[in-house]
Chains A and B, each alone.
Chain A
């Protein structure tokens, strides 16, 4: 098994659905990071068969809110002094802003310049969102 050095301080984003880690990397703008980031793909997992993991060093202030929208099964381990000090379970966020675009071709967001693409949570259990402009409904797969 591939080993990646453990973290002294930082965040481990665990239980990412296999193949989804690059999506999360992009959402969190980790391409601009000047700290160490490791993406580990297709790790064996008892629960998930295969999973992805992202380790982020020396930064625990990343806004992880959006991850609850991408996949609420993701878990976050906050590490300090080589130890997990907090485990976070993510809920779908109440509002998702500028993460996705409305797919309704009749929605004003398809033509209006520099508009915020905003979706609000209407069913927490099923993670169902709707566009605030045209009410189009989105269910996460």
Chain B
């Protein structure tokens, strides 16, 4: 039963519960018009304490396509946070206005704080460099749709593995599926954090390899998940400039990859995937964006517990 629950990190839901959401998403993708009044009279609060285009609009589009309404703010400066209001007080206030909340915050653990004080479901829409579970649902849904299932895959994850919250959430989520191998491609300074390496990969005896080389890793991959080096996570701009061009995927490098490899990216991209790659059949990152909206529709329906029957 997902009604009334929070989604703070991917493991808040069991594999079976995720499958329930994916199955509902399949039905929405098939006939989205059947769901356009499901959230009539419901309100989503979009509490975005830091800039976001995709995630915020995706949540907004999802709620509007379900027939619901959206309130909220899109930066901390336009909310009471600028007056010093705590996350705990904000969520208690918002809970009086809305039925469900999506929260993006630059500080790690802010949605967790909200969930501990909230009367309405809280969805983590990204907290600092920590977790981004709805992107993970999007990624899993895309993998499931493009590969037929989520098992027996060698998944390459490339770029900023230290601050890339989508990466942390994705590894945690994939660790529960059968025979998933990871190839973690990053510069030394942006390697995966210890808590993911020790607590997820090593603890669960998962097969993984850490490498600095993208080219030599490509031939074995079923999925390549590219990420950008995130400027906003660096305290020192010189470090960012030194690392930002570490990996650029282009058509020449793609010749070394399997013909059926799936290229994913949580977007936005800067320059880590050349525009020429967009025309390659293996590039699925814009389909990923579409699945992102549908999976958020399914998630909202499930957490609100509205009638799914059509």
Report which A residues bind B (CB closer than 8 A): 104, 106-115, 122, 130-137
Contact = CB atoms under 8 A, between A and B. Distances in A.
Contacts of A114: 86
Nearest to B81: A111
Contact of A108 (B112, B129, B195, B198): B112
A134 B168 CA distance: 12
Interface stretch (B102-110, B143-151, B175-183, B248-256): B102-110
Contacts of B112: 108, 132-133
Contact of B105 (A108, A109, A110): A108
Contact of B107 (A108, A122, A131, A136): A108
Contacts of B110: 108, 112, 133
A104 B86 contact: no
Chain B, interface size category, equals 10 to 19
Interface string B96-128: 000000000111111011000000000000011
Interface of B: 86-88, 105-110, 112-113, 127-130, 194-195, 198-199
Given A108-B110, A112-B107, A112-B110, 8 more contacts: A106-B128, A106-B130, A107-B107, A107-B108, A112-B87, A114-B86, A136-B195, A137-B195
Nearest to A109: B109
5 contacts: A108-B108, A112-B88, A115-B86, A133-B113, A134-B128
What's the dominant secondary structure at chain A's contact region?
loop
B107 A111 contact: yes
A106 B86 contact: no
Contacts of A111: 107
Given A106-B128, A137-B195, A115 B88 contact: yes
A108 B194 contact: no
A136 B127 CA distance: 14
A102 to B, nearest CB: 8
Nearest to A137: B195
A134 B113 contact: no
B204 to A, nearest CB: 13
B88 A134 contact: no
A137 B113 CA distance: 18
A83 B107 CA distance: 53
A132 B131 CA distance: 13
A112 B194 contact: no
A131 B113 CA distance: 12
Contacts of A132: 109, 112
Contacts of A110: 107
Contacts of B113: 108, 112, 115, 133
A48 to B, nearest CB: 30
Nearest to B196: A135
Nearest to B235: A105
Contacts of A135: 108, 130, 195, 199
A106 B88 contact: no
A135 B112 CA distance: 11
A137 B200 CA distance: 13
